[in-house]
Amino acid sequence: MLSHIRISEITEQHLLGLIENKVPENHTLEFKRQTYGTNDKDKKEFLKDISAFANADGGDLIIGIAENNDGVANSLAGMPATEAGKEHERLEQIARNGLEPKIEFQSEEIQLEDGKTIFIFRIPASDIGPHRVKFAGTNRYYIRGSKTTDEPDVEKLRKMFLAPYLREQKIRSFVDERIKLVAGGNGPTQLETDDWVSIHIIPLRKVNLAFGYGNLISQKLSKLFHPMRQSGWSQTSNLDGILIKSTNYRMTHSYVQLFRDGSIEAVCCNWIRNESIDNLNAHGHGILNSLLSSTLQYISQLENLDVKGPYLIFWSLKGFKGVRIEFENSSKTFNDSSPIDRATLRIPEVKIDTLDSIEDAREKLRPCLDTLFQASGFERCKYFTEDGEWNPTR
C-alpha cells in the first residue's frame, strides 16, 4: 500500500513492491493498465473513478500498472515518456472541469528505468461532497466499494449529503470537550493561570499523520508550531500526538498540541492585568495579534506537512468574565468597552481553505475579529475602517 507515503516521494521501487507483494485493488486502490481514451465514454469513466474515491474514503488511482483477473498488480506497463507530459495535463484538465463540486487532488508522474511513465492520482476523502460527474449530458453520483465503483442507492446518497454536516457537528463537540478539559485542569499540561485564549484548527479532510509519525517525532516541530508569545519551548510525545510547550516558567504559560489527525490546539494564558480590584483588563491588540499571527503560522506549517484545507478555525477565551478587553491604537484607547459577560467565550468558527498572508488572515478571519469586539460592546472590529480597510493606527 502507498497511502502512508507522500505522493511526491513514491518511486518505481514502491510500485514494484505492489507487484512483489501481490497487492490487490481494494477500497482505496485502483489499477489501470493504460490511460483513459479521448472519447466521451472514456472521459466519463475517468471522472467516475475519481469521484467515487472522493465520495468514499479517498484513494490512489494508478495508471500504468497491469493487473490480473483478480485485480492483483502483476506488471509495470507505463506509457512513453515523450507522451506523458501532455497526457498528464489532459487528465488533470478533465478532472478539474468534469466534476461538481470540484475535487482537490494530487497527481504525480513516476519515471521508470525503461523510460516509461506511470501516473498516480491521489484523491482525498471529500468534506464538501457528494461529487457528481457532470460531463457530456451525464449527471450521476458514484461511490467506491471494496473493489468496484457503483451508483449509490437513495439511502446511501442521503447519507453522503449528510456526512459533511455531521462531521462539522462532531468537530464542534470535540472543540467544546477540549475547552472543558483544559478549563478543568485536565489538558495536556498544567497552565500557569486560569485566564487563557485558545486556537483550534481542525482539517475537514480525513488526515492521519501516522504515515510519517516517526519522522515527525524526530523533527524539531517546535520550530514550526511554536507556542504563542514564547521564545523558548520544548517538544515531547504524548498519547494524542506531539506536545510543544513553553520552558520559561515552572508551570506552562503556552503550548501547542499537534494531534495525530492533523488538528491543532494552541493555548496561551496570563493575559489579565490586575490594575485594581475594580479594573481588570486585558491588552486587546496583543490578543488579536497573537491569534492572527499564530493561526497563519500553524496553517502554513500544516500545509507543509500535506495537511491541506479546508479547515475549521475556532478562537476561544476562558476566564475573562468581568474583564474589559482594551483595544487601542497609536492615538487612543477605546475606553468604552464593556466587560466580558461570560466565563467561556467561544467565537463562532470560520471555515477557510488556506491563508496566504497576514492581510489574508485579517480578511478571512474578520468574522472572528468582529465577534470579539462585539463581545466587548462594539458594533464591529474597530481596526477596520468604514470601507473595510485595515487601519488600527487611525
Q: What pLDDT is attached to residue 211?
A: 40
pLDDT digits (tens, 9 = 90+) for 200-227: 999 987 665 544 445 555 456 767 898 9
Contact yes or no for 65/32 (Cβ under 8 A): yes
What 3-state class would DSSP assign to 120?
strand
Name the grid cell of 130.
Answer: 457528494
Q: Is the backbone peptide bond immediately before 124 cis, with ω within 30 degrees of 0?
A: no
Domains of the chain: 7-152 (3.30.950.30), 171-375 (no CATH)
Distance between first and last Cα of the chain: 58
> What confidence category does residue 308 fall into, taking pLDDT thresholds of 50, 70 and 90?
confident
- Residues 3 and 28: their CA atoms lie apart, in Å, by 9
> What confidence category does residue 125 fall into, taking pLDDT thresholds of 50, 70 and 90?
confident
pLDDT digits (tens, 9 = 90+) for 57-79: 899 999 999 999 889 999 999 98
Nearest Cα neighbor of 292 from 341, 360, 374 is 360
Residue 356, Cβ density class (10 Å: 0-12 exposed, 13-18 middle, ≥19 buried) = exposed
pLDDT digits (tens, 9 = 90+) for 249-258: 677 899 999 9
Asked if pLDDT for residue 85 goes beyond 50, the answer is yes
Q: Read off the pTM.
A: 0.77
More confident residue, 222 or 116: 116
Q: For residue 361, give the H/E element and its range.
A: helix 358-364
> What confidence category does residue 316 fall into, taking pLDDT thresholds of 50, 70 and 90?
very high
State the CB neighbour count (10 A cutoff) for residue 247.
13
Most confident range (mean pLDDT) of 36-50, 299-313, 374-388 is: 36-50
Asked if pLDDT for residue 278 goes beyond 80, the answer is no
Asked if pLDDT for residue 269 goes beyond 80, the answer is yes
- Residues 115 and 112: their CA atoms lie apart, in Å, by 5
In degrees rounded to 5, what are phi and psi of residue 148?
Answer: -125, 165
Place of cell 482539517: 203
Nearest Cα neighbor of 210 from 326, 307, 86 is 307
The secondary structure of residue 311, as a DSSP letter, is E
